Each structure stands twice: as C-alpha cells, then as structure tokens.
Amino acid sequence: MRSSLLILIVLGALVAGVPQKGLAQGLCRSLFQAAASHPMPAWARLKTTEEREAHLIQTLQKGAKSFQISREMANGLLALPEAAREDWMRSLGRAYRQIPKQDPNPMASWHIGGRRLLDRALTLIERYDLKFQQALTTKNPEQVLGEFFDRQNRLFGTTYGLREIKPILEYLQHQLALLPEGGPTTVITLGGSFINGKANLKSSDLDLSINSRLLLRDVPQWQKEIADLLRVTQPESNLKIEAHGEPKYFYGKINPVVIEITAREVRLFVFAPAREHQQDLHPAEPLAVRLY
C-alpha cells in the first residue's frame, strides 16, 4: 500500500511539472519516511563500534540463500536517526573486507556470499541514483563523481578517488583511439568494487569488460600501465585487472556505479537498486550522463 502511494505521489509530481531537483529531494524524503515505519530491530540499538562490527561479521560471514537479510538490514538502518545511521554506516565500511566475498559454501546449489549481501544493503540504504540525480542539477558530473568517492573514502577507509580514477579512464580511452578508425564500436566497461570506491588497492581487482576479443591480448600491458599510474599516488597498490565479457547491467545489479569508455566519450551510469526475483537480481534502468 505504501509503495503504491509513493508511486502515485511521484506520478502526480511529474504531471504537475515539479522540477527534477524537487522531485529527487521528495523521493529521498519519502524513502526515509517509509523506512521509519518499520519497527527498529534490537541489533540496530548496538552502541559501540566493536559490538556493531561483531554483529555484522557474525550475521553475514556464512552468507544466505536470498537477499532478505539485506532488506531487513536496510530497513532497520533507515529507521534510525541520521547520526545513529551514520555510525552504523561507518561500522559497515569497517567490517566490509572482513566478510567473505565468495560463496562460503561452494557445494550449495545457490548461496550468496556475505559481502554481496552487504553490497545489496548498502545500495538500498545509500540510494546513490537519487543522490546523483539531485546533485547533477547544480554540479557537473565530474564534481558529483568526485564527491561520491569522497563519501566512499569516509565509509570504507579507502584512499583513492577521482584523482586516481581519471588517468585510468584517459589511458583506456587512448587505447581505443589507437584502433583502426578509432574503434567506434569497441566498448570498455568498468564496474565492481574498485570503480565504486570500496577496493583495497593491495589486493583487489579492477573488473573490466571488453566487447572485442582482440583487445584481450593487451590486458597484461594495460595492467602494467595502470599499476604504474596508481603508484604515483598509491605506492602500495597491487591492483590486478579481471577481464570479463559482461554488460554494464551485470555490474549494476550489485554496485551502482558503472563507467563505459569508447574512443569518443566516457559515460557514467548510476543504477537504482535492482529488483529482486526469487534468489536473483534484475537490474533497473540507470541514470546515464556523459563524463568526458
């Protein structure tokens, strides 16, 4: 009933011609108001950082068979006052890499790793699609992306941002420009934890998809060049490239920020939380904007 009412409010605002900025702000307020109606679970009242981190690790380390726990966590945290919620968000960030990413039970027919459950909860809580939409009414895309990385630094204790990301984007775009006729149909897609500001540069991967098999042979050289670029400001970086063939929607199911590179432009996509269908996630249509 509440979801239907929210949809009617949004449709009414669109018909009435409410400005985009006002609509985005209204959506954010409505989401927090709706979450506040959920009863606050006992775990949400844990006070110390140690208690919160211990609870998160214990709850998520074994994974789960569905994303129900992610929804419950998001609803519980959204029901908290903002200051208390921010304390919890920092605890989520601190616990993030202590929780297994991979399926902890490889013999199970379907099992979701704990870190993926936490990724899902973070996407539901943060709603970066709405935050980007609102911020883009007054700032350029590069500024908004920089602020996104600043936020991730505070949550996850990461030390890289747009200063490190931009040279990588420019390097990869230059590789496409060197292709015959500028490689007009060749696309490089970046997604995953690195491009979402969560990666530990000592051990994480750069998830990257290429729609050209010929370019896969260049990946080892790209990895070397990108490592050199990162070490200018991040000397301990040991980032590896993990090459895939997946489209942007695959990445956007879990981590909202995806970047596509062609010889002509670099585009930023910010996905809304994916729709749950049984044990899987179906990606929503993203907000799309040109970066360069």
In this structure, is residue 157 part of a structural domain?
A: no
- Do 16 and 81 share a domain, yes or no? yes
Q: Label residue 170 by pLDDT band (50, 70, 90).
A: very high
Q: Based on the structure, what is the number of domains in the chain?
A: 2
SS3 of 288, please?
Answer: strand
pLDDT of the residue at 106: 60
- Do 110 and 168 share a domain, yes or no? no
- Do 97 and 217 share a domain, yes or no? no
pLDDT of the residue at 38: 55
Hey, what are 89's tokens? Answer: 């968000």
- Do 204 and 257 share a domain, yes or no? yes
Q: Label residue 17 by pLDDT band (50, 70, 90).
A: very low
pLDDT of the residue at 287: 94
Q: What is the mean pLDDT of the chain?
A: 84
Is residue 291 scored above 80 in pLDDT? yes
What is the span of the domain harbouring residue 103?
Answer: 2-132
Q: What is the mean pLDDT of residues 94-111?
A: 74
Helices (H), the chain: 2-16, 20-36, 49-60, 68-78, 82-95, 114-126, 128-135, 141-156, 162-177, 192-195, 219-231, 248-252
Hey, what are 28's tokens? Answer: 């954010």
- Do 12 and 127 share a domain, yes or no? yes
Among 248, 259, 240, 249, CA closest to 173: 259
- Do 120 and 226 share a domain, yes or no? no
- Do 115 and 221 share a domain, yes or no? no
In this structure, is residue 110 part of a structural domain?
A: yes
In this structure, is residue 280 part of a structural domain?
A: yes
Residue 94 has phi, psi (to 5 degrees) of -70, -35
Is residue 245 scored above 60 in pLDDT? yes
pLDDT of the residue at 89: 94
Count CB neighbours of 289 within 10 A.
16
- Do 183 and 264 share a domain, yes or no? yes
Which of the residue ranges 15-24, 69-78, 234-243, 272-281 would you say has the lowest mean pLDDT?
15-24
pLDDT of the residue at 35: 46
Highest mean pLDDT among 28-32, 73-77, 234-238 belongs to 73-77
Q: What is the mean pLDDT of residues 190-201?
A: 94
DSSP 119-183: HHHHHHHH-HHHHHHHHTTTS-HHHHHHHHHHHHHHHH-----HHHHHHHHHHHHHHHHTSGGG-
* Residue at a domain's end among 116, 132, 148: 132
In this structure, is residue 115 part of a structural domain?
A: yes
